[in-house]
Amino acid sequence: MATMNVSLPDPLRDYVQSRIDSGQYASVSDYVRDLIRRDQTIVADEERWLKDLDASIEESLTEMAAGGGRDLDEVCDEIIADIRASADSQQH
């Protein structure tokens, strides 16, 4: 196992030590390993989300090129009309 040295300002060092003193972590190394694992999970989740988003965009572009989909302005106009109709019916 490799060793790394990390310098922390006193408030951060005290915070890490409080986490160890509370029993949540056995050592500074245990705490840092947990932070790294959490960061790896976050990065993997972000990468998966971006990959899924790219696939969704590509699918939408393919659908639009094939003549599918609807014009955004038309959809927004319909939504606004529905909201106004709903408001009008509630006033009467």
From first to last of its 92 residues, the chain has per-residue pLDDT tens of 899 999 999 999 999 999 999 999 999 999 999 999 999 999 999 999 999 999 999 999 999 999 988 889 999 999 999 999 999 899 87
Instruction: Count CA within 13 A, CB hemisphere, residue 62.
Output: 6
Going from N- to C-terminal start, the domains of the chain cover: 10-91
Phi, psi of 3 (to 5 degrees): -115, 140
Q: Which pLDDT score, from 0 to 100, does residue 69 have? A: 87
Q: Which pLDDT score, from 0 to 100, does residue 1 have? A: 87
Mean pLDDT of the chain: 95
